[in-house]
């Protein structure tokens, strides 16, 4: 079955910018239109129409940032009937208009071509694949000391610190999963630690050892000129990023902040300087009130928040997939979810909990 779906994906990619015809796709596959549409959604967890929209719009973002082509020309080349239709789709997906993105091409979440046979690596080998020499030089030129790199998770922290990938600056992991369980207003307060440890079903001492102690040795006890935040573009990382930025506002951090968006599929990094001012409001809106904030957002953060709010719904796309495949062994469902929904950034622990709550 996966071979058939891959054939469909390959055909769609070849005809992505043409006027799509489900009839032509079904004729090429040798199955009925209904069967093609149903099986694609069942196996991939996404509809044909949505997959094509995400791919076309993402590819158009590359043209916007790398060329001077007129927006109307990019819209037509990417299969849109008008600039207005293109702008609506672009803003729905990325949270900004094509013109605003071109003026300030901030990080956004990628939508790569689906590959049904590719085994997705859950952890990245950063020491071998990230091209960060220029980023290190940039920081070294402006800050000769008092630089802290905060990494999303222990795996990334160990790679960076052991390899000294950003020179002799300090390194600290943020070992959290803010996209699950409750939180409180004052970040890293006693009530915060208690609520988070309860949610993760670990003792307060264990939570402090894993999450708090690494930060006590760096962020909580030293004064830094520059903090570099290394977080991926998926929903999991974006909720963690929001929390760290909100905390920096909470303590009135006055230094320079860079967000280095790590793109897992290609291991590229895009650096963005962050100006504090609205991130605590974002934290409250999203992680406390569970609503879209009323402030301007980076495209990648907008996308992460949309996914987070959708995940909170009982009938989200992941639970629908789990329900449709509940006949499979749990480990196979988890493997499929890791492969098909990389934009969420969830791990096997979170998926197993969702499977248990859904089935």
Which pLDDT belongs to residue 125?
Answer: 54
Q: Of 110, 45, 117, which is closest to residue 321 (Cα–Cα)?
A: 45
* DSSP codes joined into one string, 96-163: S-HHHHHHS-------PPP-SS----SS--HHHH---HHHHHHHHHH-SS-EEEEESSHHHHHHHHHH
Mean pLDDT of 277-286: 98
Distances (CA, A) of 222 to 23, 99, 166: 63, 41, 18
**Token pair of 32 as six digits:** 């009925």
Note the pTM of the prediction, 2 decimals: 0.91
Per-residue confidence at 56, pLDDT binned at 50, 70, 90? very high
Distances (CA, A) of 197 to 56, 285, 291: 42, 22, 24
Strand 268-274 and strand 147-151: the pairing is: unpaired
Torsion, Cα 262 254 166 146, to 10 degrees, reads -160
- pLDDT tens digits along 139-198: 766 666 689 999 999 998 998 888 877 778 899 999 999 999 999 999 999 999 999 999
Per-residue confidence at 14, pLDDT binned at 50, 70, 90? very high
pLDDT at 87 over 50: yes
Q: Of 322, 256, 254, 269, which is closest to residue 300 (Cα–Cα)?
A: 269
- 49 contact partners, CB below 8 Å, separation of at least 6: none
Percentage of the residues of the chain whose pLDDT score is greater than 90: 80
Which pLDDT belongs to residue 177?
Answer: 97
- pLDDT tens digits along 100-133: 999 999 999 989 899 887 544 444 455 545 556 5
pLDDT at 239 over 80: yes
pLDDT at 311 over 80: yes
Which pLDDT belongs to residue 116?
Answer: 86
Point out the least confidently predicted range of 1-5, 54-58, 207-211, 291-295.
Answer: 1-5
Helix axes 83-94, 48-66, angle to 10 degrees: 100
C-beta of residue 146 within 8 angstroms of C-beta of residue 225: yes
C-beta of residue 35 within 8 angstroms of C-beta of residue 67: no
**What CATH homologous superfamily does 2-103 map to?**
Homeodomain-like (1.10.10.60)
Instruction: Provide the mean pLDDT of the chain.
Output: 91
Which pLDDT belongs to residue 31?
Answer: 94
Which pLDDT belongs to residue 142?
Answer: 62
Which pLDDT belongs to residue 122?
Answer: 41
Which pLDDT belongs to residue 264?
Answer: 64
Q: H/E element holding 230?
A: strand 226-232
Q: Where are the domains of the chain?
A: 2-103, 126-309, 314-358
- pLDDT tens digits along 20-42: 789 999 999 999 999 999 999 99
Strand 147-151 and strand 226-232: the pairing is: parallel
What's the rounded Cα separation, in Å, for the pair 218 and 243? 17
């Amino acid at each position: 079955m996966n071979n058939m779906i891959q054939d469909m994906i390959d055909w769609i990619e070849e005809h992505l910018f043409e006027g799509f015809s489900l009839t032509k796709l079904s004729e090429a596959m040798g199955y009925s239109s209904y069967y093609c549409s149903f099986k694609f959604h069942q196996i991939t967890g996404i509809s044909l129409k949505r997959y094509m929209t995400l791919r076309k719009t993402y590819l158009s973002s590359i043209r916007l940032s790398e060329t001077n082509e007129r927006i109307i020309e990019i819209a037509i080349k990417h299969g849109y009937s008008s600039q207005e239709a293109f702008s609506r789709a672009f803003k729905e997906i990325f949270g900004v208009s094509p013109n605003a993105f071109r003026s300030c091409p901030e990080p956004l979440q990628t939508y790569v071509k689906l590959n049904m046979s590719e085994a997705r690596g859950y952890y990245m080998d950063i020491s071998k694949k990230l091209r960060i020499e220029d980023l290190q030089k940039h920081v070294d030129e402006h800050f000769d000391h008092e630089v802290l790199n905060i990494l999303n998770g222990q795996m990334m922290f160990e790679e960076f610190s052991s390899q000294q990938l950003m020179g002799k600056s300090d390194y600290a992991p943020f070992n959290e999963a803010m996209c699950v369980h409750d939180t409180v207003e004052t970040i890293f307060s006693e009530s915060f630690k208690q609520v988070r440890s309860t949610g993760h079903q670990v003792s307060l001492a264990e939570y402090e050892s894993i999450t708090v102690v690494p930060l006590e040795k760096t962020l909580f006890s030293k004064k830094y000129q520059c903090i570099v935040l290394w977080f991926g573009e998926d929903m999991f990382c974006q909720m963690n990023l929001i929390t760290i930025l909100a905390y920096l506002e909470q303590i009135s951090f006055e230094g320079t902040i860079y967000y280095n968006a790590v793109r897992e599929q290609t291991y590229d990094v895009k650096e963005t300087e962050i100006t504090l001012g609205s991130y605590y409001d974002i934290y409250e809106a999203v992680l406390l009130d569970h609503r879209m904030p009323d402030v301007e957002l980076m495209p990648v953060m907008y996308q992460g928040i949309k996914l987070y709010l959708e995940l909170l719904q009982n009938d989200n796309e992941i639970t629908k997939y789990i329900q449709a495949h509940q006949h499979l062994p749990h480990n196979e469902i988890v493997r499929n979810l890791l492969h098909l929904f990389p934009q969420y950034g969830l791990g096997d622990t979170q998926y197993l909990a969702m499977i248990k709550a859904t089935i």
